[in-house]
Amino acid sequence: MKISKEIVREMADISRIKLTSQQENKLQEELQELVGFLEVLNELDTENTQPLTHLFQISSVMREDRIFPSYDRTALLKDTPEHTDETIVVPKTVE
C-alpha cells in the first residue's frame, strides 16, 4: 500500500492536527515504513485463522450495578490546558 500525501493530510484532518510540509514529509516516510512492516502479514495464509482481538482467554468480565462516589471535579480539571471552575474549555464547535 502506498501512503500518499493525501492520505497523510486526511489523517491529520480527522485527528484535528495541523502539519507543516516538513512534518507531512516525515510522517509520510514513517507511515510508509510502518505499513511496509505490516505487509509481511499479507504473505501468511490466514484462510482458516480467526481474527484475534483479545490476548487472554477470558470472557464475560462484568461488575455489579453499584454507584461509587464520582471524582473530585477540581482534581479532574486540574491538569487540563484550559478550564473554568466547572468545565474544560474548548474552541466553539458551532458557527
Closest approach of another protein to the CB of residue 1, in Å: 15
Dihedral pair phi/psi, residue 11, rounded to 5°: -65, -40
Q: Please identify, among the stretches 8-16, 18-26, 27-35, 39-47, the one whose residues bind another protein according to the rule CB under 8 A.
A: 8-16
Q: Spell out, one character per residue from 74 to 93, where the chain touches another protein: x when CB under 8 A holds, - when not.
A: --xx------x-xxxxxxxx
Q: Is 88 helix (H, G, I), strand (E, B) or coil?
A: strand
Q: How many residues bind another protein (CB under 8 A)?
A: 36
Task: Compute CA distances 3 → 7, 19, 28, 68, whole Å.
Answer: 6, 16, 6, 47
Q: Is 17 helix (H, G, I), strand (E, B) or coil?
A: coil
The interface with another protein within residues 11-50 (CB under 8 A) comprises: 14-16
* Cα three-residue angle 12-17-21, rounded to 5 degrees: 70
The footprint of another protein (CB under 8 A) covers: 10, 14-16, 51, 53-56, 58-68, 70-71, 73, 76-77, 84, 86-95
